[in-house]
């Protein structure tokens, strides 16, 4: 199989979960594809470990990356491709006759939380998603929730074109870390951990407000890209979040973006993991935390129940800081009981989301498309 994957959407550290999704998937593809070509924006620095074993074709992206993905047929890299894989919702307007296109749609957040998107951005996303549903040979949905959402918003006529393949989670990228040498000195010995970029829908303000009202001998560590460094965030929200954090700055540590090695150690060292997000297409951090055997509290929303396999602790009314305050306090009080429960479940999580297992599902899908859609 000659596979071409567009990585034009990658801006390391700035595009949220889609970035880890493709890194983990590429790790699963490694050594299992006859010929794999990656299309890369030469203006951004992507680590060599991401592209190892692949042909790399670089192009300087001067404008919106979507325009380049839409007009990929100008790229000579596609001339002999069997499959063109588009990992982030855009499908080219034209493709060579023999080539098949598989595109991933991660979520329809802009239809659920339109207040966080400009009108222009909403129109762009809706048109792009509709075109992908019409034009791609197959569309990957990263959860059953996303699939049903697409069918509800765009119509049941697309059902046969949709395939659900869960996100891969590569725990090996955390394994080389050494707790004694890579946890920053600013991190306390006993802490609760939250991993989320500072987008409004991640609902970090609610967690901070809940923590500020707790009287516990733990700190709160917030890991994730800061608002000012993100693409498409809300400045007003970022400023409000910073005000809440400043009210209890002695007990709240904000790390910003961290390396995989640092993140792995932060997962290992935490006493409890909190994920208050109000909307996700998947939700990778709670899966990662559960893979480390950590008691994991998440918002009681369908997609998080799905990806945590019904085995996390679910907080109803996740936009209520009182609900989070009570849930955190209750589970800290019985930490010695809940921690062994999560320890017993961690290997099941690691196995279920292993990149080799998930990438096999993608490769099977690519083969099916080649065979059945001549």
Of 91-95, 123-127, 158-162, the least confident: 91-95
Residue 179: pLDDT over 60:
no
Question: Please, which pLDDT band fits residue 13 given cuts at 50, 70 and 90?
Answer: low
Clarify whether residues 34 and 117 are in a common domain. Answer: yes
Q: Are residues 197 and 308 in the same domain?
A: yes
Q: Are residues 329 and 219 in the same domain?
A: yes
Supply the mean pLDDT for the chain: 90
Q: Give the per-residue pLDDT at 160.
A: 96
Cβ atoms within 10 Å of 296's Cβ, excluding its own: 30
Owning domain of residue 359 = 2-168+354-372
Residue 182 and residue 263 share a domain: yes
> What pTM did the predictor assign?
0.91
Question: What pLDDT sits at residue 181?
Answer: 45
pLDDT over 90, % of the chain? 69
Same domain, 320 and 271: yes
Q: Of 115 and 276, which is predicted with more confidence?
A: 276
Start-end of H helices in the chain = 17-29, 48-51, 65-70, 109-112, 119-135, 144-154, 179-182, 204-212, 235-246, 260-269, 284-291, 302-307, 321-333, 335-352, 355-372
Nearest to 269 by CA among 177, 181, 179, 194: 179
For the stretch 182-186, contacts whose Cβ atoms lie closer than 8 Å and that sit 24 or more positions apart, written own/partner, are 182/261, 182/262, 182/265, 183/262, 183/265, 183/266, 183/269, 184/255, 184/262, 186/253, 186/255
Q: Are 46 and 86 members of one domain?
A: yes
C-alpha 83/C-alpha 327 separation (Å) is: 47
Residue whose entry in the numeric block shows the structure tokens 């479940």: 345
pLDDT at 258: 86
Residue 11: how many CB atoms within 10 A of its CB? 17
The string of DSSP letters for 10-78 reads: --TTSSTHHHHHHHHHHHHHTTSSSEEEEEEETTS---HHHHTTSEEEEE---S-HHHHHHTGGG-GGG
| pLDDT (average), residues 11-24 | 80
The Cα-based distances of 23 to 20, 27, 41, 169, 281 in angstroms read 5, 6, 15, 9, 17
CA distance 108 to 199: 15
Which run of H or of E encompasses 101? strand 100-105
Report the range of poorest mean pLDDT among 53-67, 315-329, 330-344, 350-364.
Answer: 53-67
Please give the backbone phi and psi of residue 62, each rounded to the nearest 5 degrees, phi first. -100, -20
Same domain for 265 and 361, yes or no, is no
- In contact, 171 and 291? CB cutoff 8 Å: yes
Instruction: Please check whether residue 65 is in contact with residue 92, taking contact to mean a CB–CB distance below 8 angstroms.
Output: no
Residue 128 has pLDDT above 60, yes or no: yes
pLDDT at 281: 96
Residue 237 binned pLDDT confidence (cut-offs 50, 70, 90): confident
**CATH number where 323 lies:** 3.40.50.2000
| Confidence label for 364 from pLDDT (cuts 50, 70 and 90) | very high
Q: What total of structural domains would you count in the chain?
A: 2
| pLDDT at 29 exceeding the cut of 80 | yes
pLDDT(14) > 80: no
Q: Are residues 221 and 160 in the same domain?
A: no
User: Does residue 210 share a domain with residue 313?
Assistant: yes
**Same domain for 333 and 185:** yes
What local confidence, expressed as pLDDT, does residue 260 receive? Answer: 86
Say whether both 110 and 207 belong to one domain.
no
Say if residue 243's pLDDT is above 60: yes
Average pLDDT for residues 181-206, to the nearest whole number?
82
Claim to verify: residue 360 and residue 225 sit in the same structural domain:
no
| Residue 354 to residues 86, 169, 338, Cα–Cα distance (Å) | 21, 6, 25
């Amino acid at each position: 199989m000659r596979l071409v994957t567009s990585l034009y959407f990658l801006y390391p550290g700035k595009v949220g979960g889609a970035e880890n999704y493709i890194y983990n998937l590429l790790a699963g593809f490694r050594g299992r594809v006859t010929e794999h070509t990656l299309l890369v924006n030469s203006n951004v620095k992507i680590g060599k470990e991401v592209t190892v074993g692949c042909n790399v074709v670089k192009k300087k992206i001067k404008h919106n990356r979507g325009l380049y993905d839409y007009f990929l047929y100008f790229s000579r890299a596609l001339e002999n491709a069997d499959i063109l894989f588009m990992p982030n919702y855009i499908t080219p307007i034209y493709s060579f006759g023999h080539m098949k296109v598989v595109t991933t749609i991660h979520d329809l957040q802009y239809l659920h939380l339109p207040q966080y998107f400009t009108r222009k951005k909403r129109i762009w996303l809706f048109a792009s998603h509709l075109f992908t549903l019409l034009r791609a040979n197959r569309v990957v949905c990263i959860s059953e929730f996303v699939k049903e959402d697409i069918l509800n918003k765009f119509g049941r006529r697309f059902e046969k074109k949709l395939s659900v393949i869960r996100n891969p989670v590569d725990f090996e990228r955390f394994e080389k870390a050494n707790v004694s040498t890579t946890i920053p000195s600013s991190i306390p010995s006993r802490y609760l951990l939250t991993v989320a970029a500072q987008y409004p829908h991640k609902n970090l303000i609610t967690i901070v407000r809940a923590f500020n009202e707790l009287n516990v001998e733990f700190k709160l560590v917030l890991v994730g890209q800061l608002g000012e460094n993100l693409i498409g965030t809300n400045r007003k929200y970022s400023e409000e979040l910073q005000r809440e954090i400043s009210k209890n700055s002695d007990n709240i540590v904000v790390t910003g973006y961290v390396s995989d090695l640092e993140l792995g150690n932060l997962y290992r060292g935490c006493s409890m993991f909190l994920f208050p997000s109000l909307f996700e297409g998947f939700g990778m951090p709670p899966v990662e935390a559960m893979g480390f055997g950590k008691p994991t509290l998440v918002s009681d929303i369908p997609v998080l129940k799905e990806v945590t396999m019904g085995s996390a602790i679910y907080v109803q009314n996740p936009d209520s800081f009182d609900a989070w305050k009570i849930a955190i306090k209750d589970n800290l009080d019985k930490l010695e009981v809940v921690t062994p429960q999560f320890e017993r479940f961690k290997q099941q999580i690691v196995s279920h989301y292993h990149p080799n297992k998930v990438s096999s599902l993608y490769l099977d899908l690519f083969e099916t498309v080649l065979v059945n859609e001549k």
